[in-house]
Chains A and B, each alone.
Chain A
Amino acid sequence: MSVNVADSPFPTEQGTDEPNPESYLDAGYGLRSWLTTHDHKRIAILYALAITFFFFAGGLAAALMRLELISPNGSLMSAEAYNKTFTFHGVVMVWFFLIPSIPATLGNFLLPLMIGARDVAFPRLNLFSWYLYITGGLFTIACLLFGGVDTGWTFYTPFSTMFSNSNVMLTVVGVFIVGFSSILTGLNFIVTIHAMRAHGMTWFRLPLFVWSMYGVSLVMVLATPVLAMTLALIGLERLLGVGIFDPALGGDPLLFQHFFWFYSHPAVYIMILPAMGVASELITAAVRRRIFGYSFMVYSILGIAVIGFLVWGHHMFVSGQSMYASIVFSILSFIVAVPSAIKVFNWTATLYKGDITFGAPMLYALGFVGLFMLGGLTGLFLAATALDVNLTDTYFVVAHFHYIMVGGSVMAYLGGIHFWWPKITGRLYSEAWARFAAIVMFFGFNLTFFPQYLLGYEGMPRRYHVYPPQFQVLNVLSSAGATILAVSYLLPLAYLLWSLRYGPRAGANPWRAKGLEWQTSSPPPVHNFDQTPTVTEGPYLYDESP
């Protein structure tokens, strides 16, 4: 297959050296102009800054854990300090990085652009969500400063309500507040997608990223309230010593687990659905083909969002849940794998006979597909009740969900950041460095987490800081991988920041990609489009373009 110059994965420098005076970045330079902005693009950047901070804070905690686990006898920190470290890592990464990651940054930035709107439906509410996020974050930081919390991110009762002597209340309040931030973001997105689409942008012309934002918003709006109330009940129990969840007082700890996972399992889909949306955009642009089976992709997004609500009980196979409930949850957990598998199949089928170019975003996207598939397949192991009894609370589970959340969501998030970076900042980054970082990340990730599958399969339990010496080799491998992974996360931070000042200016559409967001200038003007676009065709019509 011949590759002509226009098909090069490298962006062509179409931009001029003159800054675009209309751009949203030039609408005001003071701190005040940012902190009081109603522009969805600026709010996206506020989120990006905040979640980057939390990502590296949570990453630091992970680094400490991997450092501790190099030796089997727990030489670096006490058991209590270790508990607090993994709790901090979990709380920060789940609620302050992964949940808001793609929706609040890329989603906020791109959603109105992709549907041809001037802004989200409720811009002030959007800014308010960011302030809620920051307030919740401050509580979590305060908790760390006052000595941390040791319950694990799951806050299991009665430990969290009766026995833990750490700062449970501060963390619970922080997570409670940040929950409202994601409810309001979800509400805003649902209304925006329903009411703000440009003329001709019918539902089945929406890019899959928008569909994934729709699915994720439904989950955010319907699942998060359950978490909020559950945390409120925990706070009440802890403050007043009453017992809805405490077995000593007649309460039911299993009820807590039901409530908690009713939110926290769909929360996994809050993390992965947006990643799937990003992957669909990146792959079609790099392959220059229409997505294979668009409507199947849409229905599987909705299918995952709906069935994702019905599988929470697979977290409780060994918690004393009724056997019949376990069987049903097991079957449903297998069923939710079907739409996920359809998506993997369709991404792969999109590659078939395509003009594949391996730019940095595509490398991230391919990494996402592979790692997501591994994480998803091991999820089937855990959905099988018999095998799960053996694997519960081992490193197998840890490896499984890190493949989904770090291998899947974080890879896709970074891929998306690279893909839309020219649009967001108006600058091009160093393609060579970006590809290098993507490849290093893929190998670093596998070296970190693949040994954990083996560790878990051999029976090493999670959340212990001392372990039998026969597990040391695999733990050292994992820690070595974590070092590589850390470098690969710092690299984009460096070259992306570098590009802000020294990168060449990007044209409106450096990837020659489809989608309304590429039709406006880079960076876009304050109200996105000089003329409100009218849509006359479906998404991803790459193979029909001249």
Chain B
Amino acid sequence: MSTTPTAVQFDDAVQQREAATLGMWTFISTEILFFGVLFAAYTLCRTRFPEAFAEGSRHTDVLLGTAETAVLLISSCLVAVAVREVQLGGQRIATWLIAATAALGVCFLTMHGFEYVSEYHEGLVPAIRYTQSGPSAGQMEIFFCLYYFITGFHGLHVTIGVIVLLVMARRTHRGDFDQDYHTPLEMSALYWHLVDIVWIFVFPLIYLIGRSG
């Protein structure tokens, strides 16, 4: 049986679980709006300056970007398996799976860090070190503004996700979760999927569209 008592405002564990789940989904819908603003700004600026944005895309590192996408997708899969393992009673494997998810998150952040560093050396960081010249340099600066804002905001989410996952790995290891009670883990996994899904939109927008043009 679950060791965590039901909070006083709830009638039973079922109600508590429903509330937590709905709360998480509501939170995810606000997150979509947060990123939605950035995607809308990106779309609008891209329609205004298609050439400069395609040029900007060509300056990004598509190889690293693809690797990051793969890492994030694999991590999302691992955490989904981890939740299933806990539901089936495999806390030990689940602990490792969650820890691996967090590790892949760190891996993602590291690769993105390498991208940022090489962009800095190329002089692609608006307002800090932007050395591009040419007719579309100014418009490309807007591309890189949005690039840093979107990937930075996403990176913030990944960082928070890694911390949450580490806490969850520890709690799973401690035996907090079992077949009956694993809501926090499930919610954390849901959050990690959000981070992943957002990236699935970021990746083509930043790295792929107009690249070959």
Contacts and interface: CB of A to CB of B under 8 A. Distances in A.
A251 B19 contact: no
A225 B19 contact: no
Interface in B19-76: 19, 22-23, 26-27, 29-31, 33-34, 36-38, 40-41, 44-45, 48-49
B166 interface: no
Given A191-B19, A229-B34, A118 B9 contact: yes
A233 interface: yes
Contacts of A222: 29-30, 33
Nearest to A246: B142
Contact of B41 (A122, A223, A233, A527): A233
Contacts of B114: none
Nearest to A119: B9
A233 B149 contact: yes
Interface residues of B, number: 36
B204 to A, nearest CB: 21
A244 B41 contact: yes
A531 to B, nearest CB: 13
B180 interface: no
B22 A244 contact: no
B127 A240 contact: yes
B138 A250 contact: yes
B139 interface: yes
A236 interface: yes
B26 A244 contact: no
A527 to B, nearest CB: 7
B interface SS class: helix
Contacts of B139: 250
Nearest to A240: B127
Contacts of B210: none
Contacts of A228: 34
B145 interface: yes
Contacts of A240: 126-128
A225 B22 contact: no
Interface string A238-261: 001111100001111001000100
A363 interface: no
Contact of B19 (A195, A244, A255, A532): A195
A237 B11 CA distance: 49
B46 to A, nearest CB: 12
B171 to A, nearest CB: 18
A225 B36 CA distance: 9
B100 interface: no
A196 B26 contact: no
B26 A243 contact: no
Contacts of B141: 242-243, 249-250
Given A195-B19, A228-B34, A242-B126, A221 B26 contact: yes
A183 B40 CA distance: 21
A186 B27 CA distance: 10
Contacts of A241: 127
21 contacts: A121-B19, A187-B26, A187-B30, A190-B22, A191-B22, A191-B26, A194-B22, A196-B9, A221-B29, A222-B29, A225-B30, A226-B33, A229-B34, A236-B145, A241-B127, A244-B41, A244-B145, A244-B146, A250-B48, A250-B141, A251-B45
